[in-house]
Structure 1
């Protein structure tokens, strides 16, 4: 994997892992529980994507570097949780950052594996939201994707769709990747701020 794709992928793992370790701290887990929950959320979406793609050993296990961000996240939360928890919705902020990056990198991995652009977009969403769902279920919490407050899957779908579209148009590059990730992050945070909601399942 090129470093231009590896760096945002590892950042996404780190941001998601921090959200997992922060939730572990709120649930009064020990340091081992923090590390395990951070690892689940940081690597879960990517592992699920790689299993669906049937590309062999998931890259989270094939490349040891992917195990570094969850360890760093657990250490950071251990020493600085009392500081960052002062800020409102800090867990959701890290979660949004991880989701934004994974909506891009997950789609790119699927495209590199030979998936068509529509299927790659779907796998981008799976990568973006899968880890968060695993985190909340393991911690006995309601998954963010099912909560009324804020948009969750929709920003991920927009990010994955834009990544696939710009790739199809041959416009995709480093600037486009970061622009899409920033857009997804901003949309998620604004939806939380103003309590935007997706339409209900039925009228």
Structure 2
């Protein structure tokens, strides 16, 4: 068993950064779909909190921190209100949705892996849970907005791979005793960069050959 060494404050900061980024992506998608203020708030909340709630339920951190810390609910609300009033200044909303989604993906895969390690999960399990934390909220967001989740869309650029990469780096850092706030930030940054490069250059996972 490997234990992460990041303190609870760093864990919370990572969570809140990822929550805010994902909330922005959810709220912006809601605007693009012409949702009202209630829809914008709901999509921001579920996008920001969905992956973390799943992680906490799996590792036994109950009730999930999203239901015990007001800042976890308040942060998406702030993001939703900001998008509601200032979205006209964002000339290309879809571009911003993808950008903030990439940031949330990178931060959450690291935060999810670190919390799993702190709860005594084995490295292989922390990789899976880190990735699930990162992609869970986005998948829920897309389903509620009536879109095929990026995770499953055949024409979508790679989505799970950057999350798995960031989570795997965290597990490796923990095993080697080099997991620190700085190295965890680097892991998150690498996941974000890979996702943005995939969007820029159209990197996609291979499809099965032929058709049924």
Query: Which band: TM-score by shorter chain?
Result: over 0.9
Aligned to 2:73: 67
Tell me, yes or no, if structure 1 residue 119 matches structure 2 residue 125: yes
Instruction: Report the Cα distance in structure 2 between the residues aligned to 1:190 and 1:63, rounded to whole angstroms.
Output: 35
Instruction: Check if 1:145 corresponds to 2:156.
Output: no
| Residue 190 of structure 1 pairs with residue 177 of structure 2 | no
Give per-residue Cα distances to partners, 1:134-156, cap 9 Å, x unaligned.
00001111111123231100000
Counterpart Cα distance in 1 of 2:95 and 2:101 = 10
Q: Map 1:13-162 onto structure 2 (within 5 A).
A: 13-86=19-92, 89-147=95-153, 148-162=155-169
CA distance, structure 2, for counterparts of residue 30 and residue 157 of structure 1: 34
Distance 2:104 2:16 in 1: 9
Unpaired runs of 5+ residues, structure 2, are 1-6
Q: CA deviation at 1:4?
A: 1.5
What is residue 175 of structure 1 aligned with on the other side?
182
1:78 is displaced (CA, Å) by 1.0
Q: Distance in 1 between matches of 2:88 and 2:149?
A: 24
Distance in 1 between the 2:145 and 2:83 partners?
17
3-state DSSP of counterpart to 1:151: coil
Does 2:171 match 1:164?
A: yes
CA deviation after TM superposition for structure 1 residue 66, in Å: 0.4
Once the two structures are overlaid, the 10-residue window that deviates more, 138-147 or 125-134, is 138-147
User: Contact conserved, 2:56 with 2:64, CA < 8 A, in 1?
Assistant: yes
Partner of residue 3, structure 2: none
Q: Is the 8 A contact 2:109 2:188 kept in 1?
A: yes
TM value normalised by structure 2: 0.92
Deviation at 1:85, TM superposition (A): 3.7
The whole-number CA distance in structure 1 between the counterparts of 2:156 and 2:39 is: 27
The change in CA–CA distance for 1:134 and 1:30 in structure 2 (over 3 A counts) is same
Superposition RMSD in Å = 1.3
- Name which of 8, 33, 38 aligns with 2:14: 8
| Cα distance in 2, alignment partners of residues 15 and 130 from structure 1 | 14
Bigger relative contact order, structure 1 or 2, given CA contacts below 8 A and separation 6+?
A: 2
2:103 partner SS? helix
Contact 2:32–2:94 (Cα < 8 Å) also in 1: no
Cα separation, partners in 2 of 1:43 and 1:118, compared to 1, 3 Å: same
